Structure 1
Amino acid sequence: MSSIITEKYNALWSDPKLVKRIDEGIRINRQSDARVRVTNFEGKPLPGIGIKVEQQDSPFNFGANIFKLGDFPEDTLNLKYEDAFCNIFNRATVPFYWRGLEPEQGRPRFSQHSVPIARRPPPDRVVQFCQDKGLRMHGHTLVWNYRKWSTPDWLPTDPEQAAPLWEKRIQEIAERYGDAIASWDVVNEIACHYEKNPDGMAMLPNYGSTAFAWSEKYFPTETRFDINEATGAWDIEDPEYTQLIEGILKEKRRMGAIGLQFHKFKDKDLLKVLAGDNSRPMDLLDALDHYTKFNLPLHVSEITLTSPENNEAGLAAQAEVAKNLYRLWFSHAAVEGITWWNLPDGCGAPGEHKVYSGLLFEDLSPKPAYHVLQDLIHNEWRTTEEGVTDADGYFNFRGFHGSYRIITSSQWSDSGMQSAMTLEPGKRTDQLIFL
Structure 2
Amino acid sequence: MPKPLTTTLCLLLIGLWMAGNTSTSLGDPGVMTINNVTPAVVVGWDLDTTWQTTGGELDRATVTRPRADAQTPDEITSIIQLDIPGNIKQRWAIQLRAENQTAIRKGDTLLASFSMRCVKSMNGSAYAGIALERAGEPYDKSIHLELSAPQIWQHYNIPFTAHDSFEPGEAQLVLQLGFDTQTVQIANARLLNYADKLSLTDLPAIEFTYPGQEADAPWRAQAEARIERLRKADLNIIVTDNRGRPLPDAHVSIHLDNHRFIFGTAVALGGIVNDTPDDRKYREILKQNFNHVVFENAMKWKNHGIGTPEQIDDALAWLSDNNLPVRGHVLIWPGWNVIPEDVRALENDPETLRAVVNDRVRSTASRYRGRITDWDVMNEPFTNHDLMDILGYGEMAEWFRQAELGDPDAPRFINDYGILAAGARPTRHQEHYEQTIQRLIDEGAPIDGIGMQGHFGWNLTGPERLLEILDRFAAFGLPIRVTEFDIDITDRQLQADYTRDFMTTLFSHASVDGILIWGFWENRHWRSTAALYNADWTPRPHALVWQDLIHNHWHTNESATTDRRGRVTLRGFHGDYTVTISHDNRTSTHKATINPGENTLTIELD
Q: Quickly name the TM-score band, shorter chain normalised.
A: 0.7 to 0.9
Moved more, 12-21 or 382-391: 12-21
2:331 equivalent in structure 1? 142
Structure 2 residue 323 is the aligned partner of structure 1 residue 323: no
2:510 equivalent in structure 1? 333
Alignment partner of 1:231 out of 418, 422, 428 = 418
2:90 equivalent in structure 1? none
CA drift at 1:424: 0.4
Q: Measure the CA separation in 2 of the matches of 1:102 and 1:305.
A: 27
1:26 equivalent in structure 2? 227
Counting only pairs closer than 5 Å after superposition, residues 191-210 of structure 1 correspond to structure 2 as 191-195=382-386, 203-206=390-393, 207-210=395-398
CA drift at 1:7: 9.1
- Indicate the structure with greater helix content: 1
1:118 equivalent in structure 2? none
CA drift at 1:132: 1.6
2:402 equivalent in structure 1? 214
Output the amino acid matched with 2:363: E
Q: Measure the CA separation in 1 of the matches of 2:455 and 2:322.
A: 28
2:178 equivalent in structure 1? none
- The higher-RCO structure (CA 8 Å, 6+ apart) is 1
Deviations 1:335-357 (A, max 9, x none): 001010022224344xx4xx511
| Kept in 2: contact 1:234–1:287 (CA 8 A) | no
The alpha-carbon distance between structure 1 residues 102 and 176, as it changes in their structure 2 partners (threshold 3 A), is farther
Output the amino acid matched with 1:133: N
Q: Measure the CA separation in 2 of the matches of 1:329 and 1:249.
A: 24
Q: Gaps (5+ residues) in structure 1?
A: 113-122, 274-278, 309-313
Aligned length: 392
Output the amino acid matched with 2:414: I
Q: Measure the CA separation in 2 of the matches of 1:52 and 1:134.
A: 23
Counting only pairs closer than 5 Å after superposition, residues 78-97 of structure 1 correspond to structure 2 as 78-94=279-295, 95-97=298-300
Output the amino acid matched with 1:299: R
| Kept in 2: contact 1:157–1:201 (CA 8 A) | no
Counting only pairs closer than 5 Å after superposition, residues 208-357 of structure 1 correspond to structure 2 as 208-219=396-407, 221-232=408-419, 236-238=426-428, 239-264=431-456, 269-270=457-458, 272-273=459-460, 279-308=461-490, 314-349=491-526, 352=527, 355-357=528-530
Deviations 1:106-152 (A, max 9, x none): xx93112xxxxxxxxxx21321121121101110000002343x211
CA drift at 1:303: 1.1
CA drift at 1:232: 3.5
The alpha-carbon distance between structure 1 residues 203 and 368, as it changes in their structure 2 partners (threshold 3 A), is farther
| Kept in 2: contact 1:259–1:301 (CA 8 A) | yes
Counting only pairs closer than 5 Å after superposition, residues 358-369 of structure 1 correspond to structure 2 as 358-369=531-542
Deviations 1:43-72 (A, max 9, x none): 332211111111111111111111253389
Q: Measure the CA separation in 1 of the matches of 2:472 and 2:211.
A: 25
The alpha-carbon distance between structure 1 residues 188 and 72, as it changes in their structure 2 partners (threshold 3 A), is same
Q: Gaps (5+ residues) in structure 2?
A: 1-200
Deviations 1:205-243 (A, max 9, x none): 123212112112222x22100000112466555321111
Q: Measure the CA separation in 2 of the matches of 1:340 and 1:97.
A: 18
Alignment partner of 2:588 out of 413, 417, 423 = 417
Structure 2 residue 573 is the aligned partner of structure 1 residue 400: yes
The alpha-carbon distance between structure 1 residues 410 and 74, as it changes in their structure 2 partners (threshold 3 A), is closer
Q: Measure the CA separation in 1 of the matches of 2:384 and 2:208.
A: 38
1:116 equivalent in structure 2? none
| Kept in 2: contact 1:97–1:140 (CA 8 A) | yes
Deviations 1:74-116 (A, max 9, x none): 710111111111111111112311112789xxxx93112xxxx
1:98 equivalent in structure 2? 301
Computing the radius of gyration from Cα coordinates, the structure with the larger value is 2
Output the amino acid matched with 1:135: L
CA drift at 1:381: 1.1
Alignment partner of 1:181 out of 362, 367, 372 = 372
The alpha-carbon distance between structure 1 residues 6 and 41, as it changes in their structure 2 partners (threshold 3 A), is farther
Q: Measure the CA separation in 2 of the matches of 1:43 and 1:348.
A: 56
Output the amino acid matched with 2:360: R
Output the amino acid matched with 2:411: R
Output the amino acid matched with 1:318: Q
Q: Measure the CA separation in 1 of the matches of 2:206 and 2:561.
A: 45
| Kept in 2: contact 1:146–1:201 (CA 8 A) | no
Moved more, 339-348 or 30-39: 339-348
1:119 equivalent in structure 2? none
2:310 equivalent in structure 1? 111
Percent identity, aligned pairs only, is 27
